[in-house]
A and B are shown apart, each in its own frame.
Chain A
């Protein structure tokens, strides 16, 4: 379970959001500039809230009143960015292996095979990120996050930088991923996308939560 109750002032923009999520896929919905990315950056630990609490499965990740801030590398929260952010100096295989190495996890060939199969990236392993298409890059980024064995996966408009046909290419992989059972927070401004993926919606407007509930709130 993810519990968020935070405020953050970013220049002129103020973010004040509170929600609890039990759902397997929490859809964070809102127009651009609504504060979605700032919110998941706080969940990831990349941004510190001015005030408030973030807790995951009973563990406090942020609590400003107690001075708690768990740094991103100790949160075990995976993050798939809109722009993939693959490491340009590493090939696909090394990118995928990165989280395992940093967390000093044992080599897990079965998991590796399952993820590369799930995302159809087995044939890309020896390539450099510069030689991948946008869709391939995003699939590798997904695989990289998954292989670090996170307890929560954040996805920030993972289809945002792709054109329509590419979106159709990735969406089935995301559905498969959801059915794997790993909890996700999925950020999007596209209601159709969230209807397909999310089990619960948090609607955000100008830094405030305006609706919470099932996908029905996306009307």
Chain B
């Protein structure tokens, strides 16, 4: 029962790779957006805010289809990237990473934004009177104080990415060894006769990963509070 088959291992490792890459690539964008939303007032801010949260409320199949239209071989961006940079997303694991990155983006941004909002802006003022240019204020005060929030966001984003299903299967399909992640593998297995045991193992593994991520995220959030109080 607890013997994990090579095919299952392939799906697990691919899921991990997809989620790790998606999280690492999305994080700098997430930090930049969280900072913008937390610290700046500008025209169109509420539209941008809604846009960031869109993948959370849109049916995943819609997000996946939109990705297919944009980043597919004949998509506007996809064709350009393939012709000029040789980057192909359609039906590749990179496409799965793109889908996961976009689907998990709202969960990544939110804790970062909250932790930046919680930072006393007067500390940033103090920093500037001590000679820190705006980028130095960000690098030496804002970012270090928001770091636990950044880590919490990364963990949540990672957990979401590893469980992503709808957008992934719509955009890059369900190809074993290339785009088949834990979720899409479970979907295939429960449609196959005698697939129950294998599906059960993968279900168990995804529960363990999700629980671990939630606990880690909570732990980072508690550290954030301690850090802000200077103990």
| A and B part of one assembly | yes
Residue contact A129 to B127, C-beta cutoff 8 Å: no
Q: Are A89 and B131 in contact (CB under 8 A)?
A: no
Task: Name the interface size band of chain B.
Answer: 20 to 34
Query: Which residues of chain B have C-beta atoms less than 8 A from A102's C-beta?
Result: 127, 130-133, 136, 140
B-contacting 9-mer, from A15-23, A72-80, A180-188:
A72-80
Interface membership of B144, Cβ < 8 A: yes
Contact A89:B128 (CB < 8 A) given known A73-B133, A81-B122, A83-B122: no
Contacts of B123 in A (CB 8 A): 85, 87-88
List A88-139 residues whose CB lies under 8 Å from chain B: 88-89, 98-99, 102-103, 128-131
Find out whether the CB atom of B228 lies under 8 angstroms from the CB atom of A99: no
Given A78-B129, A79-B129: A85 and B231 interface contact (C-beta under 8 Å):
no
In the complex, are the beta carbons of A46 and B227 less than 8 A apart?
no
Q: Enumerate chain A residues within 8 angstroms of B131, measured Cβ to Cβ.
A: 73-74, 76, 99, 102-103, 148
Query: Nearest residue in A to B129 (C-beta to C-beta)?
Result: A79
**Residue pair A79, B231 in contact (C-beta under 8 Å):** no
Contact with B along A35-75 (1 / 0, CB 8 A): 00000000011100000000000000000000000011111
The reply on A145 being an interface residue by CB < 8 A is yes
Q: Nearest A residue to B125 by beta-carbon distance?
A: A46
Contact call B128/A81, Cβ cutoff below 8 A? no
Interface residues of B in 127-172 (CB under 8 A from A): 127-134, 136-137, 140-141, 144-145
B145 touches A85 (CB 8 A): no
Kindly state whether residue B229 has any CB partner on chain A within 8 Å. Answer: yes
Whether the Cβ atoms of A98 and B130 lie closer than 8 Å is yes
Interface SS, B side: helix
Q: B126: CB under 8 A from chain A?
A: yes
Is B6 part of the binding interface, using a Cβ–Cβ cutoff of 8 Å?
no
- The reply to whether the CB of B86 lies closer than 8 angstroms to some CB of chain A is no
State the CA gap A79–B131 with chains docked (Å): 11
Assembly CA distance A145 to B126 (angstroms): 9
Instruction: Provide the residues of chain A in CB contact with B193, threshold 8 Å.
Output: none
Query: Which of B128, B137, B140, B144 has its CB near the most chain A CB atoms (within 10 A)?
Result: B128
Residue of chain A at shortest CB distance from B231: A130
Q: Is the CB of B132 within 8 A of A73?
A: yes
* A142 contacts chain B at the CB level, 8 A cutoff: no
Which residues from B are CB-within-8-Å of A78? 129-130
A8 located at the interface, meaning its Cβ lies under 8 Å from any Cβ of chain B in the complex:
no
Q: Given A81-B122, A89-B145, are A128 and B231 neighbors across the interface (CB < 8 Å)?
A: yes
Q: Check B127–A89 contact: CB distance below 8 A.
A: no
Is B44 an interface residue, CB under 8 A from the partner? no
CA distance A208 to B70 in the complex (A): 61
Cβ-neighbour of A98 out of B127, B133, B228, B231 (below 8 A): B127
A46 near B129: Cβ-Cβ < 8 Å: yes
CA distance A87 to B137 in the complex (A): 11
Query: Which chain B positions have C-beta within 8 A of A71?
Result: 128
> 29 A-B Cβ contacts within 8 A?
A44-B129, A45-B128, A46-B129, A72-B129, A73-B128, A73-B130, A73-B131, A73-B136, A73-B137, A74-B131, A77-B129, A78-B129, A78-B130, A81-B126, A83-B122, A85-B122, A85-B123, A85-B126, A88-B145, A89-B145, A98-B127, A98-B140, A102-B140, A103-B131, A128-B230, A130-B230, A130-B231, A131-B230, A145-B129
Given contacts A73-B133, A75-B129, A98-B140, 9 further A-B pairs with CB under 8 A are A73-B132, A81-B126, A83-B122, A88-B227, A88-B229, A98-B130, A102-B136, A131-B230, A148-B131
